[in-house]
Structure 1
């Protein structure tokens, strides 16, 4: 065996791990709730949104991961090279958003345990926190995190696939919604919301920072990085398609009564699973929610701290302990103040602006040969489509701002 083969295997394993960690971070409790709610509201027309979101998500991540990979710089480092000080601002925004969502994800994992076996929420918080922290403190933490992300992601996908078969969504109506959606302009809100949930904030950088931490960068690894990007977008996209099919199957079978029940429920996804498969559906939902909660705790905590460690050396020297503190503090807050709805709204608003800001800075960096190298030529198609997505998401972020802030009045 040549010396190159073990290194190739290490790189391949790290890139697959980065893909699954990002994909797993995208399949969180909020992901399930948002997709379920919008499916009940927009019905078959949401099929067009799901497909458009997958395309835009793929373009955004291909741009960000490719440029970070070719430069060898993390998001905050690249931003500071392009516009001094902007990386520090982005790091603060991403960390705040990641921490806020970590609070919600601990709560989501605990709700999952409650749905499966009736475990009290306080006990669920402790178990979820302990499991997430243990993955960062074990001896071979990197491999453990990669394996956990893969196993938990597959479990969520399998559960969604089972439920999709159970609810029998009418595929002819799905095709109609995809090709001829009703009131297309009204679909802008769910499109931007779902895009922000799968690409905005910390999620855009989770996998990229993961493979950079593994020492993977440069032109020689660009093809592998782009394959990893497509894998993570495939995981997220398949999950989004399946949860849409599950909920639409329930709505199609139950009519307006089912749609109204899902839309009015405190947890639309839980209601859809209950209507679709009764008590078994509730149990399966609990397992899926717990798995999704754990994976997103891992992703949000890791990525948030990765934004701070190059700006503050003490964080880099004690990374695993800062991640541990991050998770523990999120657990304490969810256990003491509850849902933290106001924080989640603020984080959502911030996420809406983080994606266009970071994508714009990343695209601008390709003009600087000291960042990407003299010989690198970024794909013109990715550049143009990336600019279009930046413009669309900027417009949508400003359009959504008044309604988001109105929740406080």
Structure 2
């Protein structure tokens, strides 16, 4: 690992690694081939995560969570990146957005999520509004004290059928210095509410077994107690989650890159051609060198963003830099590893092709590389009035 770890976090790291060795790595190939995590296996991972203190470890102790800080979560997310999202998502880290719950919402949504009694979905992306959040068509209109919700969401991911969804909907229009902007509000919507349909969506070649759902709302009536946070402040809530979420994607990319690079190095040292290990040929050795440099830089970039977040100084561009650099670094290492293995890199008997497929998704979800570059460019130009 390219970052320094305290003694306390070293103990945490050992716990996470032992947990993954016992509960996740043995099941990777089965999950990839069948395209699902059996319910009993998922619940076993969930129960074991609770036993070792990893379930809801990201949430504060005063709500029943593990109370781990960002530096500790950085190590956990990096290690989890070495295996399939379909498996480690069962060791849940409920979204921090639930900390915005107030009054009865805490007993109905937050605390059950911390205890593992309920699962949530984060419902933002739409078929015609992926990266363009302001193109959102899902809307909620007032009807007395209630709200009437209509619209559709897709690519809403989770390990299993959820109990409720955090849904973002346009609730009006606000004027800003840059013109009219939709006012977006977050709602807590229970599965089974009249007019709300949650069904499994398309199957993905990356992270097979990690499900994505399509959400449809047809005149769903919501009470005033189902607004999460304040009306019109939904994008601020979403931004809190997306910023650290992008950093955790970067951390997981570093973990996966470390695993893949290790496999490439072992193969380059043991595979012989023309009387010597193929790693001695510059065409192979330089790929390993480039991978090691890229991983070192990515790890340092994530560590810097985490340190900024701990000081309350992280900006959107910091998270964007982490997301785009780490995901593209991982893709280069994964592709180079397939090349180093040659034909064997594409055979299902080895984990290389699966890790290669899983790596490809990282440049898309939580904001594409193109969107991250747009965020970075904007941060450069706006101070100059451009």
Normalised TM-score (structure 1) = 0.30
Greater helix share, 1 or 2? 1
Greater strand share, 1 or 2? 2
Larger relative contact order (CA 8 Å, sep ≥ 6): 1
When Rg is computed on C-alpha atoms for both structures, the one with the higher figure is: 2
